[in-house]
Amino acid sequence: MRVPAQTDIQASRVVVKKGEPMLKHIIGLSAVMLLSTAAGWAQKLPERIAQAGVIKVGIERDHPPMEYVDPTSGELVGFDVDLINAIAKELGVKLEYVHSRFEGLTPNLQSKRIDLIISGMYDTPARRGNFDFVDYLNAGAVFFTLDKNAEIQKPLDLCGKAVTANRGTSYPGSVEKWSTENCIPAGLPAIQVISDTDMASEFLYLNQGRAVGSVQGTEAIPTVLASKEGPFRTLGGPFTNVKLGIGFRKEDPELRDAVLAAAEKVFAGGTYAELIAKWKLGASAIEKPALNAGAAP
């Protein structure tokens, strides 16, 4: 908590008269300190947000365990949801969620319909050309297939076959890059990349035989393997090494820095570790949040 400047305390100092209870004055000073702390955050936040007390958050609702609608309660839940709520609590603001397909998130941010994105988004060199990121998880792309696809036992077995990947994400490009670097040198045909809209459509394409493989991040693989649409199995470990980040417009550094400072408090206070344990993301945890710490260009 920010300690009030000495001038703040002096301006609010009350002389205790003989016989007056000290508790009243302690409570009064505590209130001043709290107000001063809130004012400190307000100064760090952009004026539009400090005055409204609301951050507009861009999110896609179909990426468990990061964000999804709980089928029982109908509420938006997930690691990203819990994390941004904890950050908002530190900032003393409310959140307004603006939902869209993943490919619509960055246009919404560029058009200022939203203030930030938290939706399992990878901090990649291409995206850093237009956006800044506060990174909060390690991640990487992993191939997976239906367990019954006996002919597919390793990533190279995908060469010359169809692999589905979520459009608007970095996955299609990552698969094409992997294919160029692995299939072609092995004298095998390139992977045929087809696009999908979400995890559910990936499962559908695999079960219909439209694709024999798909790709998801390490953070989502536990959900894939637990799905009743399978059984599925992975084909090796991650073939990329990236970080998940909260995305901001480059011309909005005040908000970026305020969120980074709040995230540091969430990490240091133990809430981050609690959320990691809750959502079983121990393999993806990082020590502290970082700014634009994804793969180098």
Which of 212, 234, 256 is the C-terminal boundary of a domain?
Answer: 234
Share of the chain above pLDDT 90, in %: 82
pLDDT at 283: 87
Per residue in 220-276, pLDDT (tens digit) is 999 999 999 999 999 999 999 999 999 999 999 999 999 999 999 999 999 999 999
- Give all strands of the β-sheet with 67-69 in edge-to-edge order: 62-63, 67-69, 76-77
Average confidence (pLDDT) over 207-217: 97
pTM equals 0.78
Q: Are residues 126 and 256 in the same domain?
A: yes
Q: Are residues 257 and 210 in the same domain?
A: no
Per residue in 10-38, pLDDT (tens digit) is 333 444 444 555 444 444 444 444 444 44
Task: Classify residue 212 by its DSSP letter.
Answer: S
Q: Are residues 103 and 155 in the same domain?
A: no
User: Can you tell me the distance from the alpha carbon of 290 to that of 232, in angstroms, rounded to the nearest whole number?
Assistant: 33
User: Can you tell me the distance from the alpha carbon of 114 to that of 273, in angstroms, rounded to the nearest whole number?
Assistant: 28
Q: Are residues 55 and 111 in the same domain?
A: yes
Q: Are residues 123 and 255 in the same domain?
A: yes
User: Can you tell me the distance from the alpha carbon of 31 to that of 48, in angstroms, rounded to the nearest whole number?
Assistant: 25
pLDDT category of residue 44 using cuts at 50, 70 and 90? confident
Say if 186 falls within a structural domain.
yes
pLDDT at 168: 85
Q: Are residues 75 and 53 in the same domain?
A: yes
Q: Are residues 251 and 119 in the same domain?
A: yes
Which of 207, 234, 261 is the C-terminal boundary of a domain?
Answer: 234
Say if 114 falls within a structural domain.
yes
- Phi and psi of 95, rounded to 5°? -115, 140
Say if 122 falls within a structural domain.
yes
- Average per-residue pLDDT for the chain: 88
Q: Are residues 226 and 251 in the same domain?
A: no
Q: Are residues 188 and 155 in the same domain?
A: yes
Share of the chain above pLDDT 70, in %: 85
Say if 16 falls within a structural domain.
yes
User: How many folded domains does the chain comprise?
Assistant: 3
Residue 210's domain comprises 141-234
User: Can you tell me the distance from the alpha carbon of 62 to that of 201, in angstroms, rounded to the nearest whole number?
Assistant: 10
pLDDT category of residue 297 using cuts at 50, 70 and 90? low
Say if 61 falls within a structural domain.
yes
Say if 280 falls within a structural domain.
yes
Average confidence (pLDDT) over 103-131: 96
Say if 20 falls within a structural domain.
yes
Closest CA to 134 of 50, 258, 283, 23: 258
Say if 1 falls within a structural domain.
no
Q: Are residues 64 and 40 in the same domain?
A: no
Q: Are residues 53 and 13 in the same domain?
A: no
SS3 for 95? strand
The CATH number of the domain where 216 resides is what? 3.40.190.10
Which is higher by pLDDT, 118 or 26? 118
pLDDT category of residue 98 using cuts at 50, 70 and 90? very high
| Residue 253 in tokens | 């550094």
Q: Are residues 132 and 274 in the same domain?
A: yes
Per residue in 137-165, pLDDT (tens digit) is 999 999 999 999 999 999 999 999 999 99
